[in-house]
Amino acid sequence: MSNLRTTSIPVTDPESGLRMTEIFYSLQGEALTAGLPTIFVRLTGCPLRCVYCDTTYSFTGGERLSLDAIMAEIAQYPCKRICLTGGEPLAQPNAIPLMQRLLDEGYEISLETAGALSVANVPTAVSKVMDIKTPSSGEADKNLWSNLDYLTKHDQLKFVIMNREDYDWAKQKLDEYQLDKLVNTVWFSPMFNVHVEALGDAYASHSPSVDVPNLARELAEWILVDALPVRLQLQLHKIIWADAKGK
């Protein structure tokens, strides 16, 4: 099975629109709706540069579409489930009106956000899937901790773990902020798409073909030993299609 894509619909009102990288229909690869058919709406642009980023193609370019054009393209698909992703969707202010229009049309929405921009104005009916950036991401200083005040049991948090140091840091933040009490689910996910040297000395002897499985296995064991109230996450789209686009 491959991802289904469409050509872009012409812009009708650029001033009220959004810069889009792609809209496509696939299976959700992660979080609570993993495995379910989903329409992915990927916005262009991101203020962060995480070392493991698998969607760097969305940093620039794209095409500006009106909200009407975006809604029309979404309506082509036999699905009422939306994943608003990027890049960083909240970097474009009109992402909020788009979410509200989608909700008004009866869509179920999850928002993938890096946690560096405020989620205060995100409609409460939207399920926020928010990253907390670990030290090895290179962007941990961008975590906007005040965002925790706007999370509910409808939302989810995700830590991408690259090594034992990231795990210990994430475990400390989990306890410090009682994160499992704030949201539906806290995910610990082993990184993908990073060169082996970035993992540190503990993985320096591993070949790139085996370091990710080893990291996933070790992460699972660490979670078990500490009995953490988190869920291990593997990205289905990377397993099925070996790419980033079923996300």
Per-residue pLDDT of the chain (247 residues; tens, 9 = 90+): 234 433 333 334 445 699 999 999 999 989 999 999 999 999 999 999 999 898 999 999 999 999 999 999 999 999 999 999 999 999 999 999 999 999 999 999 999 999 999 999 999 999 999 999 999 999 999 999 999 999 999 999 999 999 999 999 999 999 999 999 999 999 999 987 544 444 444 444 433 433 667 889 999 999 999 999 999 998 787 777 766 554 4
CATH number of the domain bearing residue 22: 3.20.20.70
Number of structural domains (the chain) is: 1
| Domain-embedded: residue 214 | yes
- Please indicate, yes or no, if residue 20 is contained in any of the structural domains: yes
The verdict on residue 245 lying in a domain is no
Asked if the structure places residue 246 within a domain, the reply is no
| Structural domain span for residue 39 | 4-240
Whole-angstrom Cα distance, residue 114 to residue 76? 28
3-class SS of residue 190:
strand
Instruction: Tell me phi and psi for residue 122, to 5 degrees.
Output: -70, 130
Which pairing describes strands 81-85 and 37-43: parallel, antiparallel, or unpaired?
parallel
Distance CA 22, CA 32 (A): 22
Quick check: is 247 in a domain? Answer: no
Residue 50 lies in a domain: yes
pLDDT reported for residue 241 = 72
* Cβ–Cβ under 8 Å, residues 135 and 169: yes
CA 78, 39, 124, 102 torsion-angle sign:
negative
- Residue 112 in any domain: the answer is yes
What 3-state DSSP class applies to 4?
Answer: strand
Inter-residue contact 246 to 26 (CB < 8 Å):
yes
